[in-house]
Amino acid sequence: MVTDQTGTDMASPWPEFSSGSELRIVKLAPDGRWVTAYPGFVLDRPAVSPWLALAARWVTGEIELDGLRFVPGDLLHEYFSPLDYFNVFAIFSPAGHLRGWYANVTRPATLDLSTAPPTLLWHDLYLDLIALPNGEIHLRDEDELTAANLAVSDPALHATILDARDRMLARWRGRTYPFHDREARDREGCPYTP
């Protein structure tokens, strides 16, 4: 079921997936190269249209980016949209405590239903946001966007990226969906553990 922020049922551009359904999540670099793939599982709570909410586990090594820690076993709630030019990952410790959010400016996500499991593709577009529960934020990779020279080579895409950044920041400042998570239940919607 897909609901709006008031809980009203809405039509969704995504197919209906049952709670716990597995999808293969594939990240593409700005130039379209394959970066990584990993399993995600549909969360057991309704998503706000047009978003798809998935759970995944952090399985690579521990890293810290601008105060946001990723530790093996962390639970991620990952939110993807077929319309919006960004995605949002809420990162939780294995105990369910919110570490913060990592958001990416992206092309709208797409689904390939011809694969088993279905494949969700997201295409990164340079800019990232790290937001911590204490209100601290960090914009990342602005240098990469500048180096790509899109302001000259593709001004429409450059403007779209900046607009997506601003929309993403506005949602975070208002703590509106998909920046709404505060805590997670153990193993919520994610049977996969490292």
Q: Which residues are CB-contacts of 82 (< 8 A; sequence separation ≥ 6)?
A: 13, 14, 50, 108, 109, 110, 111
Q: Which domain holds residue 59?
A: 2-174
Q: What percent of the chain has pLDDT over 70?
A: 88
Asked if the model's pLDDT at residue 188 lies above 70, the reply is no
Under 8 Å between Cβ of 76 and 41: no
Number of domains in the chain: 1
pLDDT in tens, 143-168: 999 999 999 999 999 999 999 999 99
pLDDT of residue 184: 61
Residue 80 lies in a domain: yes
Asked whether residue 183 is assigned to any structural domain, the reply reads no
Q: Is 55 within a domain?
A: yes
Query: What integer pLDDT is reported at residue 171 of this predicted model?
Result: 94
Domain assignment present for residue 132? The answer is: yes
State yes or no: pLDDT of 4 exceeds 70.
no
pLDDT of residue 191: 53
Q: Which phi and psi angles does 166 have, rounded to 5°?
A: -65, -40
Residue 134 has pLDDT above 70, yes or no: yes
State mean pLDDT over 65-77: 94
The pLDDT-based confidence of 12 (bands split at 50, 70, 90) is low
Residue 184 included in any domain = no
What radius of gyration, in Å, describes the C-alpha atoms of the chain? Answer: 16
User: Tokens in use for 48?
Assistant: 């706000």
- Stated length of the chain: 194
With beta carbons less than 8 A apart as the criterion, state whether 78 and 102 touch: no
Distance of CA 187 to the CA centre of its chain: 18
- 179 located within any domain: no
What integer best gives the mean pLDDT of the chain? 88
Q: Please tell me the distance from the alpha carbon of residue 142 to that of residue 35, in angstroms, as a whole number.
A: 19
Whether the per-residue pLDDT at 85 is higher than 70: the answer is yes
Q: Is residue 21 part of a domain?
A: yes
Give the CATH number, domain containing residue 47. 2.40.380.10
Provide the whole-model pTM: 0.88
99 located within any domain: yes
**pLDDT of the residue at 2:** 40
